[in-house]
Structure 1
Amino acid sequence: EGPFPAVLDLYTFGGGLSEKRASLLASHGFVVLTVALYGHDDMAKNIKEVHLDYFEEAIAFLKKQDKVGSKAVGVISISKSGDLALSIASNLPDVGVTVWINGCSANTMLPLYYNKSQILPALMFDLSRMIPTDSGAFNCKYVMQNPLAEENKATLIPIERAEGRFLFVASEDDLNWDSKAYVENMVERLQRHGKDNYESVCYPGAGHYLEPPYGPYCPSSFHGVVGKPVLWGGEAASHAAAEVHLWRKIQEFLRTHLSCDAPQTKARL
């Protein structure tokens, strides 16, 4: 069967390799590659910078697969990998679709390199802005520096360069990033450059980790970067409903904008 649309799945910043979303997308008629950034097999345990060339190689490998029918690839991301996806779409060819879920509009935490040169410095965080709660977990929504402040504007990703389409997804109760504000910033930037290659969706009552549906709702857990338990936000029923809606939305968006030469397998939930 096939050919199928190609998708690069970025679950990269927690270390190691996560294949759950990639596996589910593959079962719905996509050729999906997910890659680790660090902390997997013989890779470094930690990193101090990110190289875009690594993802360029991954896309080239993905496009060579026999079952791939789309001329461009899709990229799907969440959290920190959201800004990596924006940079991939803005700097590399053959990216037709980018799904950004609860990330940032700037390059965060680690400087970004391409062809051995730094192309974006890192927007950093201030842990003194963490808000303690009675549960013992912290609210980290506002720990990142303001990307629109003059001293931080160099970290903003030039998404107006992207040729493909964006799907921006923000949870209104995200307590890890100010995701809705970042979406508003990106939409304003694209409009200012005369671009309309985007859709956006916001989910009231949903928290940070919007994943494929029917998994357990996770309101808080240990944060590897912060080194403390944090709140992810959301209310269980609203979060679950958002995941069901978004899962269908993602598949429809990818299929619509990653055309193949032959009919594709129809999406199932």
Structure 2
Amino acid sequence: MEAFDLFCTLLRGITDIYGIGGGLLEYRASLLAGHGFATLALAYYSFEDLPKKFDTIDLDYFEEALCYMLQHTQIKGPGIGLLGISLGADICLSMASFLKNVSATVTINGSGFNGNKAMYYKENCIPPLGHDLRRVKVAFSGLLDIVDIRNDIVGGCENPCMIPIEKAQGPILFIVGQDDHNWRSEFCAQIASERLQAHGKEKPQIISYPGTGHYIEPPYFPMCPASLHKLLDKPVMWGGEPRAHSKAQVDAWKKILTFFTKHLGPSPKL
């Protein structure tokens, strides 16, 4: 009987999107499923029949995934949640801004800007902000520090390369590491907050963790201080101090679960 009840229970839906590394990562989605969320870990390049590289970001693909979730017989509507990290966070912000039926969005160390590839949805296009590799620094360890390579944000929160998050449906939670060396996530979250308020929206929730780097993973996952950057094909540093970063991962996971439970609904009683 319990198995039958589980099969018939409508679950809250979340789409989980990772960053520039591509491929399919399912461990975070599996952990969310253990908390009563029907979670789709969504690959968007470098997996099976998907393109090995991407030259543009087309939101039509992500809209198809959103529709799939909403039409699933075990998904409780009317909307779903979005969870993304790094580039995946910015894709989630774009989905929330352009697509319907998004109830809540969590971004982990996103930027709020379209980075290196043009982003399209129907007749809309967000141009890339771009970067300047001459700003790359070499740390004492020999690792590259890319935190300042992005082009200057001319115009602040009204820069044309910024995602129009004032159009987003549902609340947004920004989780940022103060020692993020991929880009300055805390600064970007503040600009996103300024944009929302400038357009008459409420100030979003920003949770900022000192001593915390770029890859804020689920609790007890090992910290990733450096790795090979997929686009640069060179080892780069991601930042973070081990103790502070590990504590942030534990706390951030609790905050994510609380946020989705609040805005998507409580876990079904099985």
TM range (shorter): over 0.9
Distance 1:250 1:83 in 2: 17
1:184 partner SS: helix
| Residue pairs, 1:1-269, within 5 angstroms | 1=6, 2-115=9-122, 117-149=123-155, 153-196=159-202, 198-259=204-265, 264=268
Task: Please state how far the C-alpha of 1:118 moved relative to its aligned partner.
Answer: 4.6
Work out the number of aligned pairs and report it.
Answer: 262
1:113 partner SS: strand
Distance 2:61 2:253 in 1: 27
1:160 partner SS: helix
Counterpart residue identity of residue 220, structure 1: A
Moved beyond 6 Å, runs of 4+:
none
Q: Answer yes or no: is the 8 Å Cα contact 1:12–1:36 preserved in 2.
A: no
Distance 1:12 1:34 in 2: 12
Computed over aligned residues only, the root mean square deviation of the Cα atoms, in angstroms, reads 1.7
Give the structure, 1 or 2, with the largest relative contact order (CA under 8 Å, sep 6 or more): 1
Distance 1:265 1:14 in 2: 37
What's the counterpart of residue 3 of structure 2?
none
Q: Answer yes or no: is the 8 Å Cα contact 1:71–1:259 preserved in 2.
A: no
Give the percent of matched residue pairs that are identical in Structure 1 and Structure 2: 40
Task: Please state how far the C-alpha of 1:12 moved relative to its aligned partner.
Answer: 4.5
Distance 1:43 1:66 in 2: 26
Q: Answer yes or no: is the 8 Å Cα contact 1:71–1:258 preserved in 2.
A: no
Task: Please state how far the C-alpha of 1:51 moved relative to its aligned partner.
Answer: 0.7
2:160 partner SS: helix
Q: Deviations over 1:32-91 (max 9, x none)?
A: 112111111122111111110111110110112222113111100011112111110011
Q: Deviations over 1:204-242 (max 9, x none)?
A: 011100010111111111111122111111100100000
- The 3 A distance-change label for structure 1 pair 136 and 265 is farther
Counterpart residue identity of residue 84, structure 1: I
1:39 partner SS: coil
Counterpart residue identity of residue 247, structure 2: A
Distance 2:269 2:238 in 1: 34
Q: Answer yes or no: is the 8 Å Cα contact 2:211–2:241 preserved in 1.
A: yes
Q: Deviations over 1:178-207 (max 9, x none)?
A: 000001101111111121162110000111
Q: Answer yes or no: is the 8 Å Cα contact 2:120–2:126 preserved in 1.
A: yes
Distance 1:220 1:106 in 2: 23
Distance 1:221 1:14 in 2: 10
Distance 1:147 1:194 in 2: 22
- TM-score normalised to structure 2 length: 0.92
Q: Deviations over 1:242-262 (max 9, x none)?
A: 0000001101100100137xx
1:50 partner SS: strand
Q: Deviations over 1:141-168 (max 9, x none)?
A: 1111123348x92111111111211001
1:167 partner SS: strand
Can you give the 5+ residue segments of structure 2 that lack an aligned partner in the other structure?
A: 1-5
Distance 1:197 1:52 in 2: 26
- TM-score normalised to structure 1 length: 0.93
Counterpart residue identity of residue 264, structure 1: P
Q: Answer yes or no: is the 8 Å Cα contact 1:28–1:265 preserved in 2.
A: no
Distance 1:146 1:181 in 2: 12
Q: Deviations over 1:83-110 (max 9, x none)?
A: 1111100110101111011111211111
Distance 1:154 1:145 in 2: 13
Counterpart residue identity of residue 246, structure 1: A
Task: Please state how far the C-alpha of 1:13 moved relative to its aligned partner.
Answer: 2.5
Counterpart residue identity of residue 114, structure 2: N
